A and B are shown apart, each in its own frame.
Chain A
Amino acid sequence: MSRLTDKLRAQKRTALIPFITAGDPTPNLTVPLMHALVDAGADIIELGIPFSDPMADGPVIQRASERALAAGTRLSDVLKMVKTFREQNQTTPVVLMGYLNPIEIMGYKSFVKSAQAAKVDGVLTVDLPPEEASEFCTLLRSHAIAPIFLLAPTTTPERIKRICAQTDGYLYYVSLKGVTGSANLDVTSVAEKVAEIRQYTKLPIGVGFGIKDAEMAAQIAQISDAVIVGSAIVQRIETEPQDKLLETIPAFLRELRQAMDGMTSNV
């Protein structure tokens, strides 16, 4: 079993998965931030590959992409960051999350080789549905990297089955119809859909999009195997003073962790 599934299976508590965009606000802060997130309770890290046209992202993560690109962050740099992170941390899984074009242009084979060398655990390509992904998935698997796919409120039972069959590691359930960082999450309908998905799979289910504070994280923690928080963190990276980010960001994560543990410790 992969480091990714081990992590989610072995631990009793609901996992907390923070997302940050690689290179935001500057490339040299990314690895220190990753370590700080782990110290503050991150179980897995989702690292965003910046892209010029992030069509599934709300304004917060769009601007993070723009800052990272303006700072010169390239896909090869992102892979180097993971490699550097691994020098000190061999246990926390790292999942790359991004759009297909940079990976296509690098070439599937060289991307997968570099990702394996950097000990990337999983890859989630937002605009690559399973229908178009068979070649890429085969390559990822043969390099011990988990292909991770999204499930959405609009996903039909037939598609849930197909997507579960192509996914390793965990499933990422998009909690709402909208872009990242939206504010219309409905916990009841998320719970219903997660229950539906569980009929088709034994894979852990992470829930993301729209989890903006500790209270929401705690609620989602009760119904999922992992809580994924992106825009709420990236928003703070954007607004907090840059020289204090290694304190303010972990502090926010601890807040989420505590709220989640407080709710789940009674279970």
Chain B
Amino acid sequence: MLKTNQNNPISRTRVKICGITRPQDALVAAKLGADAIGLVFYQKSPRAVTVEQAQAIIQALPAFVTVVGLFVNAEPTFVHGILAQLPLELLQFHGEESPEDCQQFAKPYIKALRMRPDVDVQAFAKRYTNAKALLLDTYVQGIKGGTGTVFDWQQVPTHLSKPIIIAGGLTPENVSQAITTLTPYAVDVSGGVESAKGIKDAEKMSAFMRGVSMSNIKSFTHQETSLPDAHGHFGIYGGIFVPETLMQPLEELRQAYEHYLKNAAFLAELNDDLHNFVGRPSPLYHAARWSQHLGGAQIYLKREDLNHTGAHKINNTVGQALLAKRMGKNRIIAETGAGQHGVASATVAARFGMECVVYMGAEDVKRQAINVYRMRLLGAQVRTVESGSKTLKDALNEAMRDWVTHVDNTFYIIGTVAGPHPYPAMVRDFQAVIGRETRQQIKVLTGRLPDFLIACVGGGSNAMGLFYPFLDEQDIAMYGVEAAGDGLDTGHHAAPLCAGKPGVLHGNRTYLMSDQDGQIIETHSISAGLDYPGVGPEHAWLKDTGRVKYVAVTDDEALAAFHDLTRMEGIMPALESSHALAYCKKIAPTLDKDKIIVINLSGRGDKDIHTVATLEGIKI
């Protein structure tokens, strides 16, 4: 039996749009994905319909939309009369009808309960034992339905024997909060999507449906982990370690992020851009030939390489740029190593008409000339960083310095799940779309959740994005793959989780590569995107708790996997992602054929062909 208030990740909140009076409104509702429409047969209601109106509406409806007839203390003969003329599929009783009254028509029904302060929902549910669901509505003296105000949601018991439908004062703005708070079976809206009583507004209905779908996505990430705490800690990791000047701006950012991540209009805009600008959802692809070749588990690739700009980075930059816009900041800055995050930042800056400055280490500017030019084409200013080791960590320092100086008008888009709170949580939340889609897609493709997840870890944003929505699934094993460079024992690597120790850098406490004196040391990896001495604090926490296993593969192993996938599947992976593939090569052959592995193919490899050619002594 379905427990109503428990989150089933695959379930979706149903939507009923009530008080429809015109065929065109019914049609729009159906088109937007409403599951049911409600017709009011109660003459005192401003939304009451005649039999003729109802016939026209029902005629206009496509298949698979339930038509609900609403009655309030109606005479049985009246209800019978309506049923004789109209094909109503479900009855809704909104008055003081007894269980016997409701059952006498031999039709499935739902019973409305107006939420008086002293109402006993449990007793009510037991009494109406045959009701398909209980519809909880606001109680206002003398008004039956359509009150336009919400009731006290705290009154709803957490465990109830009947599915619940939340009604009363729902709007596009508050529906996602209602769903997150109550996880109902369905929501019922009427006045909240109208331009006048009985006249539905297409824009508002559309916004309402977006609010529902986004909050569905939110609501099942909600329970997976309660971390970080209020100060950004994941166990002993994370936190805020910045100069005083940045403390208040970070607090403002935290407030804005927490506000907008629950704001239906913001989520709707984000969702729209992820769909139409980024090209989401990205496919989940069964690498059948490669799986067969390796002779073990079935391997599925989450194709983040097919996103606009060619990597997962843009999921986060779109989110942060939209946040910057809401916060009134029109200048964005970013750090970049390989240039992927820089390109993703420059891209959204162009998209939203913002000024963009990207900091890049002098060494990386030399190694990644094409991405530098790409950023400039997009209108960004690329500033070469000559300090320290002239790589990603120094670019991050320089971006922080810029932020301290221009904090009034500038938004710093950090590209990974590191930095001071709220960045690690915020970037994770923007990237978690990867894991949420994967959950749905793998269920459709295979009928179940995977056995293994594998992702490469530099700062760790693509890995966090894939892992996060699965963290509560204790049966799923997860592997984060770091860059072992020339080998962990050579010291030339970028594997702080496998070979580093906890410390503080770039605003958070995490595993770092530093020397005995606490100075940050230079890293090495064939892949510029993994060439960073730190890692997101949530990974540090997941390592210590043992929830995720962190391993490392060498440059050579990654390079071999790069060639394998290119030749066997016609997909050229980024060298970063090739680290995840290389680890998969080690475990897939040891597993049964019915096991399922999902790898985050975080980016495409076109950017790396010069590196690969040079390593192999080929001149292009």
B464 at the interface (CB under 8 A from A): no
List B contacts of A10 (CB < 8 A).
Answer: none
Tell me if A156 and B248 are in contact (CB < 8 A).
Answer: yes
Contacting B387 at CB < 8 Å: which of A62, A127, A129, A149?
A62
List A contacts of B394 (CB < 8 A).
Answer: 53
A108-146 vs B, CB cutoff 8 Å, 1 = contact: the mask equals 000000000000000000111101100000000000000
List B contacts of A155 (CB < 8 A).
Answer: 244, 247-248
| CB nearest to B393 among chain A residues | A53
Tell me if A159 and B241 are in contact (CB < 8 A).
Answer: no
A69 at the interface (CB under 8 A from B): yes
- In the complex, A155→B249 CA distance in Å? 9
- A101 and B387 contact, Cβ closer than 8 Å, known pairs A55-B400, A132-B241: no
A190-228 vs B, CB cutoff 8 Å, 1 = contact: the mask equals 000000000000000000000000000000000000000
B493-512 vs A, CB cutoff 8 Å, 1 = contact: the mask equals 00000000111111101001
Tell me if A151 and B397 are in contact (CB < 8 A).
Answer: no
Tell me if B514 and A55 are in contact (CB < 8 A).
Answer: no
Q: Which of A14-22, A174-182, A233-241, A256-264 contacts B (4 or more CB under 8 A)?
A: A174-182
- In the complex, A95→B404 CA distance in Å? 24
Tell me if A52 and B519 are in contact (CB < 8 A).
Answer: yes
A153 at the interface (CB under 8 A from B): yes
Number of interface residues of B (CB under 8 A): 42
List B contacts of A131 (CB < 8 A).
Answer: 231, 239-240
Contacting B506 at CB < 8 Å: which of A55, A69, A163?
A55
Contacting A179 at CB < 8 Å: which of B405, B408, B506, B519?
B405
Tell me if B518 and A151 are in contact (CB < 8 A).
Answer: no
A66 at the interface (CB under 8 A from B): yes
Shortest B363–chain A CB gap in Å is 15
B570 at the interface (CB under 8 A from A): no
Within 8 A of A (CB), among B403-419: 404-408
Tell me if A132 and B517 are in contact (CB < 8 A).
Answer: no
List B contacts of A59 (CB < 8 A).
Answer: 387
| CB nearest to A151 among chain B residues | B244
Tell me if B504 and A127 are in contact (CB < 8 A).
Answer: yes
Tell me if B505 and A174 are in contact (CB < 8 A).
Answer: no
List B contacts of A163 (CB < 8 A).
Answer: 244
- In the complex, A154→B410 CA distance in Å? 14
- In the complex, A52→B505 CA distance in Å? 10
List B contacts of A54 (CB < 8 A).
Answer: 397
Tell me if A101 and B512 are in contact (CB < 8 A).
Answer: yes
- In the complex, A63→B394 CA distance in Å? 13
Tell me if A127 and B397 are in contact (CB < 8 A).
Answer: no
Tell me if B517 and A152 are in contact (CB < 8 A).
Answer: no
Tell me if A149 and B244 are in contact (CB < 8 A).
Answer: yes
A102 at the interface (CB under 8 A from B): yes
B520 at the interface (CB under 8 A from A): yes
- In the complex, A154→B400 CA distance in Å? 15
Shortest B397–chain A CB gap in Å is 4
Tell me if B517 and A129 are in contact (CB < 8 A).
Answer: no
B388 at the interface (CB under 8 A from A): yes
Shortest B504–chain A CB gap in Å is 4
List B contacts of A126 (CB < 8 A).
Answer: 243
Tell me if B408 and A129 are in contact (CB < 8 A).
Answer: no
Shortest A114–chain B CB gap in Å is 13
Tell me if A153 and B245 are in contact (CB < 8 A).
Answer: yes
Contacting A52 at CB < 8 Å: which of B239, B246, B388, B516?
B388
Tell me if A152 and B244 are in contact (CB < 8 A).
Answer: yes
A56 at the interface (CB under 8 A from B): yes
- A152 and B504 contact, Cβ closer than 8 Å, known pairs A105-B517, A177-B408: no
Contacting A55 at CB < 8 Å: which of B231, B239, B397?
B397
Tell me if B519 and A102 are in contact (CB < 8 A).
Answer: yes
Tell me if A152 and B245 are in contact (CB < 8 A).
Answer: yes
Tell me if B242 and A101 are in contact (CB < 8 A).
Answer: no
B3 at the interface (CB under 8 A from A): no
- In the complex, A156→B249 CA distance in Å? 11
Tell me if B401 and A53 are in contact (CB < 8 A).
Answer: no
List A contacts of B397 (CB < 8 A).
Answer: 53-55
- In the complex, A93→B394 CA distance in Å? 33
Shortest A136–chain B CB gap in Å is 11
Tell me if A100 and B248 are in contact (CB < 8 A).
Answer: no
Most chain A CB within 10 A, of B231, B245, B248, B520, is at B245
Within 8 A of A (CB), among B510-532: 512, 514, 516-521
Tell me if A105 and B245 are in contact (CB < 8 A).
Answer: no
Tell me if A129 and B241 are in contact (CB < 8 A).
Answer: yes
Contacting A105 at CB < 8 Å: which of B239, B389, B507, B518?
B518
| CB nearest to A182 among chain B residues | B405
- A56 and B404 contact, Cβ closer than 8 Å, known pairs A101-B503, A101-B514, A104-B518: yes
Shortest A67–chain B CB gap in Å is 12
Most chain B CB within 10 A, of A52, A63, A182, is at A52
Tell me if A74 and B248 are in contact (CB < 8 A).
Answer: no
Tell me if B506 and A178 are in contact (CB < 8 A).
Answer: no
Tell me if B239 and A132 are in contact (CB < 8 A).
Answer: yes
Within 8 A of B (CB), among A161-186: 163, 174, 177-179, 182
A58 at the interface (CB under 8 A from B): yes
Contacting A101 at CB < 8 Å: which of B244, B393, B396, B520?
B520
**Can you pick out 19 interface pairs between chain A and chain B where the beta carbons lie within 8 Å of each other?**
A51-B518, A52-B519, A52-B520, A54-B397, A55-B243, A55-B400, A56-B404, A62-B387, A74-B517, A103-B518, A104-B502, A126-B243, A127-B243, A127-B504, A150-B243, A154-B244, A154-B407, A174-B244, A177-B406
Q: Which 8 A-B pairs have the closest CB atoms?
A: A105-B518, A102-B518, A152-B245, A150-B244, A178-B405, A56-B243, A154-B248, A52-B519
Known: A106-B517, A128-B241; 9 extra A-B contacts, CB below 8 A, are: A51-B518, A53-B520, A56-B401, A66-B388, A74-B517, A129-B244, A131-B240, A132-B239, A152-B243
